[in-house]
Structure 1
Amino acid sequence: MARRVALVTGGARRVGAEIVRSFAVRGYDVVLHHGSSPDAANALTAELQRAHDVRIEIVQEDIADVHAPQRIIDAAMRAFGALDVVVSSASVMMMHPFDAVTPDEWDQTSAINLRAPFFLMQAAARVMRDGGVIVQLSDHLAFEAIFPHLIPHQVTKSALTQLVRTTASAFAPRLRVNAVAPGLVLPPDELSDETIERFLRDVPLGRSGTPLDVAQAIHFLVDAPYVTGIVLPVDGGRHLRR
């Protein structure tokens, strides 16, 4: 039986690295995309290939480049000749007050968080094997308005949610498209301990999430053949307050 192949964008560090690791543990060959973290990508690849009988193909591309999604898919097909799962993990979150956001920052956020995932799906859908799965990383902030210094991020993740619904309909029944919406996972350094503690008061499970929590949710969606077009909260129950 042919080995399954997964592509993970933004897969060298943080949550993306845990997603790559989770596919390797499950015996997938993996296309590990990164933008500017070659050392981390090489170290993760060496670790996983020592521990598991899998192949890892590293692809470096600036995901904000309009041609990068097609080049990433082309590299995946050259390496493995097939593609079963695509996870769009690459993302950017610029923190600025509302009146300090610049047009360049708005465009950069949109290019990475929204345009690249769309064109990656477009290119992937042409070559993925029947029964393939696409998973987008949304954000609980797509549904909340509590951080006005994150407006470009919130708006693009909200639009990504609608993109998941639309493409799930367009690609069915051959492919499935879903998303996970993590809550507080690996909070940015700019958030104070006080802000984090205040945030966690509204999380019924009483803790922040981990990259493994996100990876496990992704694999639920990959392995659930009758689920498409949903955004799965991975937020410790915080969505219950909405």
Structure 2
Amino acid sequence: MPNRVALVTGGARRVGAEIVRSFALRGYDVVLHHGNSPDAAAMLAAELRSAHNVRIEIVREDLADVHAPAQIVAAALRAFGALDVVVSSASVMMTHTFDAVTPDEWVQTSAVNLRAPFFLMQAAARVMRDGGVIVQLSDHLAFEAIFPHLIPHQVTKSALTQLVRATASAFAPRLRVNAVAPGLVLPPDDLSDDTIERFLRDVPMGRRGTPLDVVQAIHFLVDAPYVTGIVLPIDGGRHLRR
């Protein structure tokens, strides 16, 4: 019986790489998408092919390109002939004060964080096997407005939440669509230690999250056949303070 097939966008680095590893560990063949990390993608693919005896297909596409989502799905079908799970991990987070955001930056953030996930779902839904699962990576900032220098990111992740609900309804019962909303897992490099410490005061679990926390939540959603249309907070309970 052929392996199940997972497609992960932004899968070469950070949390995305851990998501790719987790599917390979479970015996999936994986389509590893990246935008501009060819060396990291190649190293990860070589590691997983050797360690887990699975097939890894590397696809490089700029998600700001309107044609990229359809091309990624087409590459998955050429490589494996099927698609069972899609995880949209890729995103951009530009840090600017409100009055410094440019129209081009707004368009790029919207393109990668919102338009690309929609059209990736559209293309994938046409070819996914029955029982397929789509998981979006949202953000706790979809529900908070605490960092005024991240407004485009916050707005697009908030819209992504509604997109999950709408597409879950549209695709049911053949496919399921959910999202995870991580809290502080891998903070931006420009986030100071003092800011992180203040943030953690409102996290009941009292610590930062880890990529494993996110990965475990994704696989819960993949494995839970009666769950669709939810956004699962992976934030150590921070949502309780809102």
1:143 to 2:143 alignment: yes
1:12-161 equivalences under 5 Å are 12-161=12-161
Percent same amino acid at aligned positions? 88
Deviation at 1:3, TM superposition (A): 1.1
SS at match of 2:72: helix
TM-score (norm 1): 0.99
CA deviations 1:123-145 (Å, max 9, x no partner) are 00000000000000000000001
Q: Distance in 1 between matches of 2:129 and 2:11?
A: 22
Structure 2: runs of 5+ lacking an equivalent: none
Aligned to 2:180: 180
1:196 to 2:196 alignment: yes
SS at match of 2:170: helix
Q: Distance in 2 between matches of 1:36 and 1:87?
A: 18
Aligned length: 242
1:203-218 equivalences under 5 Å are 203-218=203-218
Q: Distance in 2 between matches of 1:209 and 1:48?
A: 24
- RMSD of aligned alpha carbons: 0.5
Deviation at 1:223, TM superposition (A): 0.1
CA deviations 1:175-227 (Å, max 9, x no partner) are 00000000001111110000000000000111111111111100000000000
SS at match of 1:184: coil
CA deviations 1:14-39 (Å, max 9, x no partner) are 00000000000000000000000000
SS at match of 1:6: strand
Q: Distance in 2 between matches of 1:186 and 1:145?
A: 19
Q: Distance in 1 between matches of 2:154 and 2:66?
A: 22
Q: Distance in 2 between matches of 1:2 and 1:59?
A: 21
Segments of 4+ moved more than 4 angstroms: none
Letter in 2 for 1:62: D
Structure 1: runs of 5+ lacking an equivalent: none
TM-score (norm 2): 0.99
CA deviations 1:69-108 (Å, max 9, x no partner) are 0000000000000000000000000010011100000000
SS at match of 2:179: strand
Letter in 2 for 1:40: A
Q: Distance in 1 between matches of 2:89 and 2:204?
A: 26
